[in-house]
Structure 1
């Protein structure tokens, strides 16, 4: 069967994922829902056999487009109040990072707990160890941190560092989704569409979560909705809605969605096509809850020997930044590799959020920060 659920992560990078974070959802193919997105695995795309993650994800190693929409942002000031658990927490080993990070984690700072998990996931400062990563993500997830709940769900979906268990994955995704984590919404939809939770697909539940994720800008969910409306799977066939969602995903840079949009257009009457184009042009993404989608990395947690930022240029670099910003919930228009006002404004907004110098420039530091951030 064609896949209707597609991955978007490329990661995943808004929420960082590990090399293998694609999931069953990831396995829903592009003709029938794109699969889940990963936050800790290298491959965060998905479809009927592979669901996309994205926004996100989080992909593989944050890989993919944005690598999912999951992971971390650096912020110069103290930022908003961070949930801190009241229970006592273990002190991470010295090799995981500096004293500031380890002390914050031991005090129950969920962003610090997440960062320790990310380092074990990516093999950053320490040897890659998904079992250890899962332990630290779970500490943050139990304390209510949505990015950690998403990441832990991805681990259970893929069996990374823990015993594979789709139901436990769904439980964590649902907790993260309830707080506004867009990639968790997508992956939860994929699990319901694939029928791995109760033996039979629950398309009503899948469509509800795809709709929520699509409205927040998750391209894979948008593509999956287009497929479902085209085929009348779980919903009444509606070519106008199908065209709308394919067009929206295409505008965000999904080439497969562009082809599907054009195919659907050939089957539509002129008045239908005009109405569908109008809907697509008027569509705006909902406001993304950044705290539910991005884990913050404080400057004092970074090792002293940080490398300087280098300006990077070229359409490919700009396109990559645009893709990652889109996954993180920013409106940059199409990912065309051109530095326009929308792209520059989005870069400045992101830089301000994480405490970088808000100069609107595409630099190696910006790319690194974006690729560690997940929606």
Structure 2
């Protein structure tokens, strides 16, 4: 909420509520914060902004979280405690900002904050503290004109197009609750219970030809590639590789290899109608995907460098927005969820393998 009081004074009020999955196996957090700011423009270039905020956070039951070291206010070790068990935090902050408008697009400023936090946590230093901080900031603002938000002819957005997207891909763990025997993974034999492969962040590239039937509805056929390196192998058991035998226990072992996905998806695209240059959209699609899992090394032991392939049904859900920068070109920012349905790699059956992607692209209309 923002309300001007006079030509050079104003107040603002903001409230934020969030539900945070900090670590679902330990705890979740419900977080609320309320902030109030008074803004005073001393001159056309200088403004003051004192503010106050109050934060309240509640951690749900986390009795299974591991205990960690506890220290008293003098820094002396007093034992171990679970610092997340039904914990309630509250925090007060008072601050003052001094802002300088260097140009219509560029500003800088200084800020000073005093914070005091109280907590029901059994670990004193985790939730009980007093802070005095100072900082500096730079900000750049681009002021849009009316021309940048209005398309004169809606029909300009109709017809065929091709979009290319490039970004980051994040694959959920490939895991199973089964006990695998024989060839448990590509180039790996033995016995492995509750296997789980964690995958490093990677890259995703897509090319999507499509056709806008109306200003709010279109269809497209997208093909792409996701490439991710492997990170860790967890589970319980012993496996044999070309270079020797490795025992896997609670901590798991480092893993070297790659996970490759090549989806081909037919999607329907729903866009916000109208003449705005900025248009959010939602896409849903179904198709098939080729995937490949290759393992070259477990811990320090080499494998035979084999790989397993799978051809699976796949689905995709995406959302984002486009910004029309010319009569034929749009910029695109998108989030995509890709799911491979029941792929199999040797004995590993991870169920629905999910990947999340953030991409930036260019859309060219013909």
Same fold (TM over 0.5): no
Larger radius of gyration: 2
TM-score normalised to structure 2 length = 0.20
Higher helix share: 1
| Higher RCO structure (Cα 8 Å, ≥6 apart) | 1
TM-score normalised to structure 1 length = 0.20
Higher strand share: 2
